Chains A and B, each alone.
Chain A
Amino acid sequence: MNRITVRIPTPLRSYTAQAAVVTAAGTTVAEVLADLDRQFRGLRFRVVDEQNRLRKHMKIFVGEESVRDLATPLTGSVELTLMQALSGG
């Protein structure tokens, strides 16, 4: 299965043994998040709520595009970036 490079923001690195970049398998954002949770138990629920919605203040970029639909397909060598919405200081 497609291996996707995933960039992890600092608030989630307690789950990845401080790794800033990891890889996960999947052909959609949802599949990658599920694989991340298999590798790093508990990470997904901090990002996605129990109704499978991206949490209000979290963002996911597929390449350079911000997406909120977890069914978004991932093709080729695209990177996925998890980040927090930023405001002010």
Chain B
Amino acid sequence: MLLVGTRKGIFTIRPDLPGVVADPALLGHIAQHVVSDPRSGRIVAAVGTGHLGPTVMWSDDLGTTWTEARRPPAFRSGERLERALRATFWLTPSVATEPDVWYLGGSPQGLFRSDDAGDTWSPVDGWNDHPQWETWCEWPDENTPDGSMLHSINVDPRDAKHLYLGLSSGGVFESTDHGADWAPLNQGCLASFAPVPDPEFGHDPHCVRLHPQRPDRLYQQNHCGIYRIDRPSDRWERIGDNMPTDIGDIGFPIELHPRDPDTVWVFPMDGTDVWPRTSPGGRPSVYRSRDAGQSWEACTAGLPGRAWFTVKRQAMTTDLGDPVGVYFGTTSGEVWSSVDEGDTWSCLAAHLPEIYSIECAHAS
């Protein structure tokens, strides 16, 4: 089952029932990220409305009923910077060794942690109060029209103390001590918009994914290209240079094969001029690499020849099937599915609200 977070609520869709869309849950709520916990089946959602403060909801019955977090994420009251969370944006369940732990990233760029499966949340002080936080986050400037956000929280499955996160903008950051301290990890990434093109931080990662079977490998779709890093190297390699030059390597999402660390999917967008963020030339195409980004192939069979939607950073996902199912949702409210790892595509659902996130649900 697919969990679809939209500007107007949460939809659930079964890939085996194309065109069948159940009525939404939390109709009218802005659902930025709706994520299933592979450890328990619990679904946790980062939600808000245009007016009310941000919050978190959870469901233990595959989205039929929802309960609000008893203590939603928030900065500490009375803190020096007087920060207030405006949006809950990104959710990541931690790994098997800490089964009730979740992380949440927000706007402004706070990091929050729950130790009880999303019901109560606390600030991660090591990040939020880091001596460099104001510098890394360019506080109090808000550099994007929707506000700067913290996203792409990745937990190393071998060591729950080892964390990565992404800032838009700000760059990629790493912690090896459970979030107590952090350091930038941006060498090799371009920041073509910055006064110097290769700063220590200040980059704009759009989506960062750690491979669950090879946790030393991460892929990144950045504002300035597609990258891969193989730790312990501290330097990202721009694998997007291998994309066709007329397509380029700008986009929001990047998705990984659950077993093969060399297979990755992206959805290129037009990053020229005023950044339309639509597909280059209005021709939607998924691109797939089978060799860790050394080469790329277009996967367009079944996709519309011309369309003008955007696919946001949380709006693409893969399942655990063999072959792997690949899914993406569009700002025009369509859900597209491929049951053959991107070779062919079909539309699972249309006429939904603007889609912000797509994730697969796990059995509870």
A residues in contact (CB < 8 Å) with B = 11-12, 41-42, 45-53, 55, 57-58, 84-85
Per a CB cutoff under 8 Å, which of A41, A51, A52, A58 touches B51? A58
Query: How many of chain B's residues have a CB under 8 angstroms from any CB in A?
Result: 19
Interface presence of B196 (CB below 8 A): no
The answer on a CB contact under 8 Å between B75 and A50 is yes
The answer on a CB contact under 8 Å between B77 and A11 is no
* Contacts A42-B68, A45-B72; A51 near B82 (Cβ below 8 A): yes
- A84 neighbours in B (Cβ, 8 Å): 50-52
Interface presence of B122 (CB below 8 A): no
* Residue among B49, B52, B72, B74 with the highest chain A CB neighbour number at 10 A: B52
Per a CB cutoff under 8 Å, which of B49, B55, B82 touches A45? B55
Main secondary structure of the interface of B (DSSP, over half): loop
Per a CB cutoff under 8 Å, which of B49, B51, B83, B85 touches A85? B51
Q: Please, which residue of chain A has its CB at the minimum distance from the CB of B79?
A: A51
Q: What 0/1 readout, one digit per residue, does chain B (26-57) give for beta carbons within 8 Å of chain A?
A: 00000000000000000000000111110100
A42 CA / B73 CA spacing, docked (Å): 12
Shortest CB-to-CB span from A76 to chain B, Å, is: 29
The answer on a CB contact under 8 Å between A46 and B84 is no
- A85 neighbours in B (Cβ, 8 Å): 51
Interface presence of B158 (CB below 8 A): no
Main secondary structure of the interface of A (DSSP, over half): loop
A51 CA / B76 CA spacing, docked (Å): 8
The answer on a CB contact under 8 Å between B52 and A11 is yes
Q: What 15 new A-B contacts, CB under 8 Å, besides A11-B52, A51-B82, A55-B52? A: A11-B49, A11-B51, A12-B52, A41-B70, A45-B72, A46-B53, A46-B55, A47-B52, A49-B53, A50-B83, A50-B85, A51-B75, A51-B78, A84-B50, A85-B51
The answer on a CB contact under 8 Å between A50 and B76 is yes
The answer on a CB contact under 8 Å between A53 and B49 is no
Q: Please, which residue of chain A has its CB at the minimum distance from the CB of B69?
A: A42
Shortest CB-to-CB span from A13 to chain B, Å, is: 12
A45 CA / B360 CA spacing, docked (Å): 30
A88 CA / B55 CA spacing, docked (Å): 25
* Residue among A48, A49, A57, A84 with the highest chain B CB neighbour number at 10 A: A49
* Contacts A41-B70, A42-B68, A53-B84; A47 near B77 (Cβ below 8 A): no
The answer on a CB contact under 8 Å between B49 and A47 is no
Per a CB cutoff under 8 Å, which of B55, B77, B85 touches A42? B55
The answer on a CB contact under 8 Å between B68 and A55 is no
A58 CA / B53 CA spacing, docked (Å): 9
A42 CA / B287 CA spacing, docked (Å): 44
* Contacts A11-B49, A55-B52; A49 near B68 (Cβ below 8 A): no
A-B contact pairs, 24 of them (CB 8 A): A11-B49, A11-B52, A41-B70, A42-B55, A42-B70, A45-B53, A45-B55, A45-B74, A46-B52, A46-B55, A47-B53, A48-B53, A49-B85, A50-B77, A50-B83, A50-B84, A51-B77, A55-B51, A55-B52, A57-B51, A58-B52, A84-B51, A84-B52, A85-B51
**B131-153, CB < 8 A from A:** none
A37 CA / B82 CA spacing, docked (Å): 22
A55 CA / B50 CA spacing, docked (Å): 11
The answer on a CB contact under 8 Å between A55 and B53 is yes
Q: Please, which residue of chain B has its CB at the minimum distance from the CB of A55?
A: B53
A12 CA / B53 CA spacing, docked (Å): 11
A50 CA / B73 CA spacing, docked (Å): 10
**B234-284, CB < 8 A from A:** none
Q: What 0/1 readout, one digit per residue, does chain B (188-229) give for beta carbons within 8 Å of chain A?
A: 000000000000000000000000000000000000000000
- A46 neighbours in B (Cβ, 8 Å): 52-53, 55
* Residue among A42, A50, A52, A53 with the highest chain B CB neighbour number at 10 A: A50
A53 CA / B74 CA spacing, docked (Å): 13
A55 CA / B72 CA spacing, docked (Å): 15
